[in-house]
Amino acid sequence: MINNVAFGASSNISNFSKVQNEVEPASALKTKSAERDVFVRSANTEMFSEVKRTAKSLTQDDAHSLAQKYDVTNMTRNEFNQLLGELRNMGIINSQDFSVGYGGEIPHDLKEGEVRMTYGAPDESIRWPMGNERVDFIKLLRSCANYCSDFAADQEEDSDGRKVGNSLADSYHRLIDALEQIKKAEKENKSASTSKVD
């Protein structure tokens, strides 16, 4: 099931990481694409785009270590969530990046000055995996990032819709950068082990 979240134009979202577990169900609303549960996220601080970037760069050693545990192009949702937790604990991604990746949040539409959010993949060719299904998370996150960027570009300049869309896209791009480093390290690990055998 895919869930919607509404962000009020006057609401701010700096406590995004704190708010992630405090989402309370609101009345169910109909959406264009399907019947979905709708949630209103309550937050009274700064916008997504103002969340401070506190993460550090992924070192080559860390990337190689993570590559031994995760195949970022063939992961289950649980494996991806475990990787997100490791990246957050290492300081590679911040709380917003973790929450966006964990929830798979993308903007859905605008209604009465609110940016309504949904959880899910915007591209029908790839979707968030269920159970033991595996997907290429670089491809999936890139699809989400592109959708968020396109959504932002369609909004008025300096609008909350543009700020939220760009902020989500930024989080997805930071996640993609980390996953691409891990993928590169995995190739290097395979190449090194092949060289030892020869």
Distance in angstroms (rounded) separating the CA atoms of residues 23 and 173 = 25
Chain centroid to Cα 115, Å, comes to 17
Q: What is the mean pLDDT of residues 34-43?
A: 33
**Residue 106 phi/psi, 5° resolution?**
-140, 155
pLDDT digits (tens, 9 = 90+) for 75-101: 999 999 999 999 999 999 999 999 999
Show Cβ contacts of residue 122 under 8 Å, excluding neighbours closer than 6 positions. Answer: 106, 143, 144, 146, 147
Query: Closest by alpha carbon to 149, among 167, 131, 132, 135?
Result: 167
Radius of gyration of the chain, Cα coordinates, nearest whole angstrom: 18
pTM, full prediction? 0.72
